[in-house]
Structure 1
Amino acid sequence: MTAVSERGEISGRLRFVLARTSHPGNIGSSARAIRTMGFQRLSLVAPEQFPHMDAHMMAAGADDVLSRAPVSATLAGAIADCRLVVGSTARLRGVAMEEWTPREAATRIVASLAAGNEVAVVFGNEQSGLSNDEIKLCHAAVHIPSDPAFSSLNLSQAVQVIAYEVRMAQLAGAPSRPSNRDFPAAVEELEGFFEHLAITLRDIDFHKGRSERTILQRLRRLFLRAAPDQRELRVLRGILADAQRMAHLAGRVPDSQANHTE
C-alpha cells in the first residue's frame, strides 16, 4: 500500500460532526472545508434545514461529501462507534475536561486513527455551541485560541482550522501503524457502563446526601481519561454486578433490579 492510499484509508476513519446546525450554508461550507484537506466524512445531528440548496451552493463542488452525510437524531447515535471524540468549544461551562490546542488535538487524533480507531470531531450549534450534555460525550475538548477581543469564528472556519491541523499532523509523519493495545471502548459501550455505574452507586447508597451529579461527573472524567478497552469494561461491569448482588443480599434493592444490568 502506498503512503497516499494508506493516509486515505486512515483519513476515512475520521468524521466531522455538526450538531444542531442552524444555517444550511454552514453545512456546505464545512463540507468544502474538510474536502480541501483530504477528508470526506461529514455527519449531521438534527440540522434545522437539510438537505437545502444553500448547502450545495456553499459546498462549491464538495457535493459528494454532502450526499454521503448521514443525519442522526442525537449526538450519541452519531458517534456510538467512535473510540475518540473531541468536542470543539469556545469555553467549558461547568464540565471538567482535558482541553487541547488544535495542534495537540491533531496529534492525538492522528495517533488514534493510526491505531485503527473511529474518531469524531464534534462542533455545536452556531449560536450556543455544544451543550453540556453533548460535551459530556466527548473525551476531550479542543479550543481554538482566537483573539479574545474578537473571538467569534464561523462554524466552517472552526472546521477548517481543525481539518488543516489534522492534515498537517498526517503530512508530518505521525504514526501510521496500529498499536498493540486493544481498542478503547466505543462511546456506546462507555455510556452503558456509566448508566450501570450510576444505578449501582444508588443501589449501594454510596452518595449519602452528597451530590450524585458531581460524583458521576468526576467518575466520568476519570474513566474517559483512562480510556478502558472492552475487556477492561467487562471487568468493571462485573464488579458493579457483584456489588449489586451484595446490595440485594443486604436487602437494599429488589432482586430484579440487582440483576437487570448484568
Structure 2
Amino acid sequence: MVLENIRVVLVGTSHPGNIGGAARAMKNMGLSRLVLVDPQDFPSEEAVARASGASDILESAQVVATLEEALVGCRLVMGTSARNRHIPWPMLEPRECGVAACEQAGQGAQVALVFGREYAGLTNEELQRCHFHVHIPSDPAFSSLNLAAAVQVLAYEVRLGWLAAEGLPLKFEAVVEAGDEPVTADELESYFVHLEQALVQIGFLDPLKPRHLMSRLRRLYGRSGVTKLEVNILRGILTETIKAARGEPHKRGSTDV
C-alpha cells in the first residue's frame, strides 16, 4: 500500500521513449502510478517498446493537462532540479527523498515525485509548487541525466526506503543447503590429515622435508571460510586421488553436490 501512494509525474515529456524507460524504471522498483502532464507524443509504440514489459504502467498512466491536476490530493510533492535557483528552497538528497516519500506514504498520504522536461527540466513556477527540491549529485562536468535515468535513481531510493521501513532485507539471502554451515575445527583438522596423506601419496610432499607447505595450506583454508559441504567434496576428491595414485580402480564423475 505504501508504494501505491507514491506517484511519478513527468511534465511535458517530448520523447515517448523516455516515458517507456521511466515506466520500466518504476516497475523495477515496485512503483506503478504514472502521471503524464501534457506529453508531446503519447500513447506511442516507441514508449511500449522501451518499457520492455512494463506496458501495464503505460496502460494505466493518467494523462492530464496541467501540473496542478497531476498533484491533486498530494500531501508531499518533491521536484527534481539540476540547477541552482534564485529563490532558496528546501533541498533533499535522493536518499532523503526516498525516506521522506515512504514515511508520508506509510501514513496514508499521497506523494508525488515530479520530473521536468528533457531539455529544460521544471520551470521556476513549477518548482515552487513542490514542497522540496531534489538534487541528484551527478558529476558537475556532465550533470545532465536522461529522464528515465533520473526516475531510476529516485525510484531506487524509494525502494530502499520502503525495504527499510518494512524491515525487509536489502539483498537476497543465499539458500543454505544441508551441511553448508561453517566447518568445525576438528572437522578441518581431519581434512588436513587427509590432505597431507594425499600429498605424500602423489609425491608432492616429502614427509622428511615438509618445509612450510602444510602451514601455508592451513593459512589458505583458514581464510576461505570453508563449509562442511565443501570439506566433504574436497575429501572425496582426496580419496579418489589416493586411489588413483595407488593404481586402484575408482569411480569416474562427481557425486551429486
TM over 0.5: yes
- Runs of 4+ aligned structure 1 residues displaced above 3 Å come to none
State the AA in 1 paired with 2:94: P
1:4-15 aligned at under 5 Å gives the runs 9-15=1-7
State the distance in 1 between where 2:40 and 2:86 align: 27
Question: How far does the alpha carbon of each residue in 1:128-160 deviate from its partner, in whole angstroms, 9 at most, with x for none?
Answer: 000011101100000000011111110000000
Deviations 1:169-207 (A, max 9, x none): 1111269xxxxxxxxxxxxxxxxxxxxxxxxxxxxxxxx
Aligned to 1:225: none
- Output the amino acid matched with 2:136: I
Please point out which of 51, 54, 66 is paired with 1:59. 51
Contact 1:110 1:174 in 2 (8 A): no
* 1:162 correspondence with 2:154: yes
> What whole-Å deviation, never above 9, does each CA across 1:44-65 have from its counterpart, x for those lacking one?
0000100111100000010100
Q: 1:106 matched to which residue of 2? A: 98
Partners of 1:174 and 1:151 in 2: CA distance: 33
Which residue does 1:79 correspond to in 2?
71
User: Which residue of 111, 115, 137 corresponds with 2:129?
Assistant: 137
The one-letter amino acid paired with 1:43 is V
2:97 & 2:91 partners in 1: Cα distance?
9
Q: Paired residue for 1:122, among 114, 120, 132?
A: 114
**SS of the residue aligned with 1:172?**
helix
**1:242-253 to 2 correspondences below 5 Å:** none
Once superposed, what is the RMSD of the aligned Cα atoms? 1.1
In 2: Cα distance, 1:23 partner to 1:55 partner: 9
Of residues 84, 88, 96 in structure 1, which corresponds to 2:80?
88
The match for 2:38 is: 46
Residue of 70, 86, 96 corresponding to 2:62: 70
Q: Which has the larger radius of gyration?
A: 2
- What is the TM-score normalised by the length of structure 2? 0.64
Contact between 1:95 and 1:136, CA under 8 Å: does it hold in 2? no
Q: Secondary structure at the match of 2:68?
A: helix
For residues 139 and 171 of structure 1, the distance between their equivalents in structure 2, rounded to whole angstroms, comes to 24
SS of match in other structure, 1:106: helix
Pair 1:20-2:17 in alignment = no
Amino acid at match of 2:37: V
Aligned to 1:172: 164
1:188 maps to what in 2?
none
TM-score of the two chains, using structure 1 as the length reference: 0.62
Aligned residue for 1:129, secondary structure, equals coil
**AA in 2 matched with 1:95:** I
Query: In structure 2, how many angstroms separate the alpha carbons of the residues matched to 1:94 and 1:75?
Result: 22
Cα distance in 2 for residues equivalent to 1:23 and 1:82: 26
Aligned partners of 2:102 and 2:165 also within 8 Å = no
In structure 2, list runs of 5 or more residues that go unmatched.
168-257
**Secondary structure of the structure 1 residue equivalent to 2:77:** strand
* Structure 1 partner of 2:178: none
Q: How many residues align?
A: 167
**1:238-257 C-alpha deviation (Å, 9 max, x unpaired):** xxxxxxxxxxxxxxxxxxxx
The letter for the 1-side match of 2:143 is S
Equivalents in 2 of 1:51, 1:81: separation in Å?
25
